[in-house]
Structure 1
């Protein structure tokens, strides 16, 4: 199993017909497929487009931190707020349904990162997400200016290159 939570549930279900294992495998496959799709999208983006995503993901992170979700320390967040992944996933789905693709993508960065904190098998692909995002780091200041010109919002970018603990590739 990938996490302490999964090992605990496995212990509780030991010797019993395990529908848990069925749903766990199904969830893992779904998350892995979403992650692969997200990575493919990042690979097709230019460095400048990646930089804009980094700026928006930083803006989302600041909002999450203001709400008490310290997403740069994902493992601690999973312990202190066990429902954080569910809340963040619901937010991302809602943004996607509303057609807010940029906000969805920025939130998806954190959804995938949070999932990797609880599933060892997802850590390498999520580290690749952060590797792709690093392509945009040299262009963050210009991306911030383009975003400001387009939407009139200033975004704090002084810590935009911060990486979540344990996921740096």
Structure 2
């Protein structure tokens, strides 16, 4: 039984790594302004998750307290992607990848790289919020937009 589990576990690792590397590749192609908007939307998603009791900024504790959180968040991201809401999908994917890294050590280095890419947008977050407000009419709280998940951001 152990061999079967290891086979599927390695297969899952490879699938998650491929998804993360694809996401990371997209981030490297984005401008700092585009990254800043993603950070604003990811912060908005995070605030919604926190209001529902899912503290993604402490992913290791979250995975102990709510082991199904990553699965639920992944399902949300997939639904957003199916609906064609790429912005909400990308903002949610930031947290999906962060939670997956809390469970899978092999994902921690690329997730740290993801956060290094996201930090490029930190200096432009206020401007991005203003652009989003003017374009979409959505008000987003950004006071803690530069917060990093514990243990994952190098």
**TM-score, normalized by the shorter chain, greater than 0.5:** yes
Consecutive unaligned residues of structure 2, counting only runs of 5 or more, are none
Structure possessing the higher radius of gyration over alpha carbons: 1
Residues 8-157 of structure 1: matches in 2 within 5 Å? 16=1, 18-157=3-142
d(CA) in 2 for partners of 1:66 and 1:18?
40
Shift of 1:17: 5.6
Shift of 1:18: 2.5
String of CA shifts for 1:140-165, please: whole Å, max 9, x gaps.
00100110011101100000000000
The count of aligned residue pairs is 154
d(CA) in 1 for partners of 2:98 and 2:77?
13
Taking structure 1 as the reference length, what is the TM-score of the superposition? 0.90
d(CA) in 1 for partners of 2:25 and 2:104?
20
Taking only aligned residues, the RMSD between alpha carbons, in angstroms, comes to 0.7
Consecutive unaligned residues of structure 1, counting only runs of 5 or more, are 1-15
Runs of 4+ in 1 over 6 A off after TM superposition: none
Report the counterpart of residue 162 of structure 1 in structure 2: 147
d(CA) in 1 for partners of 2:6 and 2:153?
29
Shift of 1:87: 0.1
d(CA) in 2 for partners of 1:66 and 1:127?
25
